[in-house]
Amino acid sequence: MRLSALSVAIGSVLATPYLLAEERVEQLGDIYVEGEVETAPAVIMQPVESNSLGLPADGGDFLRDLNGVSGIRMGGHGIDPVIRGQSQNRLNILLDGAYIHGGCPNRMDPPTAYSAMESYDSVTVIKGSQTVIYGGGGSGGTVLFERKPPRFEAGKNYLGQVDAGYKSNSKTKEFSADIAAGSESGYVRGVVGYKDADNYEDGDANEVRSAFENRSGNLILGYTPDQVRRLELNIEATREDDALYAGAGMDSPMSDADNLRFKFEQNDSLGPFSGLDVEIYSSQVDHLMDNYSLRELTAPMRMSVPTTSDTTGGRLFGDLMLGENSLTIGVDYQKNERDADRFSGMPTMEPATLQSIMWPGAELEQTGLFAELDMPVGEENSLKVGVRYDQVDASISRGDEKPDLGPSPTPNNLYAAYYADTSDSQSENNVGGFVRYSHKLGGGTMFAGISRSIRTADATERYLASFMRNMMTGMDNSWVGNPELEPEQHHQLEVGYKWQSGEVSSDITLYYNDVSDFILRDKARGQEGILVANGTATIYRNVDAEFYGIEWQADYRLSSALMAKASLAYVRAENTTDDRPIAQIAPLDLSLGLDYSGGDWELGGALRANAKQTRADLEDGSGQDVQETPGWGVIDLYGRYRLTKNSSIRFGVDNLLDKSFAYHVNRANVDPFNPEAIQVNEPGRELWVRGAVEF
């Protein structure tokens, strides 16, 4: 219902037991769907099982293998996705319809850190601003991790799949089980997953701090009283222990998430609606960081940071059929509450002194109204129009609370010291929308679209109050949010063409994004509105910016068994206020691949390459980039063999030539007591294997 209104569909299936027996056989090769629903340009269609990454650590690691998507590595887990040069809450990332916001101000745990891939059945990536129905903002794109109700064969009321895998370099051990039972009137599904990874070595045999242990579990209860109605309750828990981060001054001994979701779906007339959906969710994150329990203490003081991030929300929306036109209208709500305290203590003592109130009871509340119309224009054209209104309220409850440590100021005093403003409650009324026109031309579809999307500042950008100053030397490493930030205003233009001619299919998109009041993380150098000029404290301010780029991918079927593929993505981003590059922008990215599929075998290889990134925002700017990252290219090999009708084995080697390399967006060591910037390298050569049994 929703996806047809968006003209997008992802048929990728993570857990193959949710296919009928006949479909299992067909899944051995490439699947071609003709007719029914055409995938729109700038929408990625990627079967999860064909991903060349054998054992992705989490959803961010999986997404990084897709064209136009990069990912920020800080350790072995918690890869933070970047689409078209945009990350964090410039992307709308929904986990089975729910938002979850991590507990780390430094983003050890982005939303994708809580996306156990074994529990999801499909992934949809909608690049740019093509929809208004999944939340406000989303200027970089929307990512949907979704679960489907199980499909049982006639005469069989259960199904399942068990997987086990191993990666050599990091000695990663992985296990998952997905079992469902039910009937026409309902179902119960249980999914459990376990990962245990050691530190890996890069291509120069240097050990990279990246170990983690992760456990996840899902219990899904579904009630289907008839063929058009479904009620579902999903109870999910994720537990991560002893996560090491080379790209941070702390590690995470513990990171827990508990999620509760309820859905009601009716795919039949209900009053004026042709269908109706209700989604309600609650996510609770407890996260702990410290600089001593999992690493040798290098700072003069022990520090620990316990945090919480609680999110509640929901959506109500339905489809109205107006002749041949489909109108989706709805309302959504989201409330996020965050607290984070930093405690300090002597090197031989547990931290007990409250040193900073990093998230001082930060609360962001957002209510949105949206409408999206999809209408044909003659036989060859279609028009899609969306409009969205968001009312945003932001506040803190602990702005005047004084930490225990004598020199430490209150959060409000810290804001005033850098911006001359304290944290009065803020309200925003944001209006966005888009118009997208498609025209069938020469065996393909050409499209053009314009959009406006508004991205509000998050809790860290508004309210972080990390006081860190050496009273002996005067060195100031404070990190201070700006309560007076204006919301970002993205105005985008996209054009593209997707076509198929004979054995060749291709998709190309060009885009330009003019941003007013881009929220820039920067160093305090006495810029307009910044009261200090020490060049070491981290602050936030609004600037103007522009992003533009190109994405292209193509497939060429050489024979019934051989498929060649290629992709290219490039984005350029400029801080036009200061005439300097925006940090954390991936360089030109290229991939080439060749896949074979015949009988019980699938084999393939790919070349991944990045050009040298010379457009870096280094220490004399924002300091968010580590260096001008060298270019690189690595070769991956992978395959699959169907042992029996119900069992298979996948295998491969990543980084075959043991290359030492790093994505430009990878993080650096930001420990203020060990200031040498060291970019986190990717793993060196890594062999992997994964076996699966269905029943």
* Collapsed DSSP state (helix, strand, coil) of residue 75: coil
**pLDDT of 328:** 96
Interval 225-262: pLDDT, tens: 998 999 999 999 999 999 999 988 899 999 999 999 99
Beta-ladder partners of 449: 436, 494
Per-residue pLDDT, 474: 73
Cβ-based neighbour number of residue 137 at 10 Å: 27
In the predicted structure, residue 674 carries a pLDDT above the cut 70: no
Could you give the dihedral angle defined by the CA atoms of residues 423, 427, 431 and 432, in that order, rounded to the nearest 10 degrees?
30
> Are 515 and 545 contacting, i.e. CB atoms less than 8 angstroms apart?
yes
Count of the separate structural domains present in the chain: 1
As a whole number, mean pLDDT of residues 635-641 equals: 96
Average pLDDT of the chain?
90
**Percentage of the chain exceeding pLDDT 90:** 82
Amino acid 504: pLDDT? 95
What's the N-to-C CA distance of the chain in angstroms? 30
- pLDDT higher than 50, residue 33: no
Residue 207's DSSP bridge partners are 201
Asked whether the predicted pLDDT for residue 15 surpasses 70, the reply is no
- Residue 313: the pLDDT is 98
| Residue 379 confidence (pLDDT) | 85
For residues 619 and 660, the model is more confident at 660
Question: How many percent of the chain have pLDDT more than 70?
Answer: 91
Cβ-contact 261, 284 below 8 angstroms = no
Among 14-28, 146-160, 505-519, 588-602, which stretch is predicted with the lowest mean pLDDT?
14-28
> Average pLDDT for residues 139-143, to the nearest whole number?
96
pLDDT in tens, 51-90: 556 789 999 999 999 999 999 999 999 999 999 999 999 9
Return the pLDDT at 29: 34
Residue 26 has pLDDT above 50, yes or no: no
Residue 379 CA to residue 517 CA, distance in Å, equals 41
Does the pLDDT at position 672 exceed 90? Answer: no
Strand 91-95 relative to strand 141-146, pairing: parallel
Average pLDDT, integer, range 324-348: 96
State the pLDDT confidence band at 290, using cuts at 50, 70 and 90: very high
Nearest Cα neighbor of 111 from 129, 91, 130, 134 is 91
Query: Quick one: pLDDT at residue 52?
Result: 53
| pLDDT at residue 347 tops 90 | yes
Can you give the CATH number for the domain in which 145 is found? 2.40.170.20
* Residue 19: predicted pLDDT: 31
Higher-confidence residue of 297 and 18: namely: 297
Which range of residues forms the domain containing residue 71?
2-694
Least confident of 152-161, 170-179, 187-196, 681-690: 152-161
Q: What pLDDT does residue 582 have?
A: 97
Confirm if 519 and 540 have CB atoms less than 8 A apart.
yes
pLDDT in tens, 315-327: 999 999 998 999 9
Lowest mean pLDDT among 81-90, 115-124, 141-150, 232-241: 115-124
- What is the structure's pLDDT at 619? 83
Q: What is the mean pLDDT of residues 136-142?
A: 95
Write down the pLDDT at residue 631: 97
pLDDT at 31: 34
Which of the 8 DSSP states describes residue 630? P
Chain-centre distance of CA 115, in angstroms?
Answer: 9
Q: What is the pLDDT of residue 522?
A: 97
Q: Per the structure block, which two tokens stand in for 200?
A: 């890996």
Handedness of CA 523, 528, 530, 532 (dihedral sign): positive
Mean pLDDT of 506-517: 97
Whether pLDDT at 18 is above 50: no
Q: Are 78 and 56 in contact (CB under 8 A)?
A: no
Q: Which of 30-39, 394-403, 530-539 has the lowest mean pLDDT?
A: 30-39
Q: Does the pLDDT value for residue 34 go beyond 80? A: no
**Mean pLDDT for the stretch of residues 410-429:** 95
Residue 38 has pLDDT above 60, yes or no: no
Q: Assess whether pLDDT exceeds 70 at residue 676.
A: no
Residue 548 scores a pLDDT above 50: yes
Phi, psi angle pair for 180, to nearest 5°:
-135, 150
pLDDT tens-digit series, residues 171-190: 999 999 999 999 999 999 99
Residue 49 vs residue 241, higher pLDDT: 241
**pLDDT band at residue 621 using 50, 70 and 90 as cut-offs:** confident
Mark 626-659 as b/e (b = at least 16 C-beta within 10 Å): beebeebebbbebbbebeeeeebebbbbbbbebb
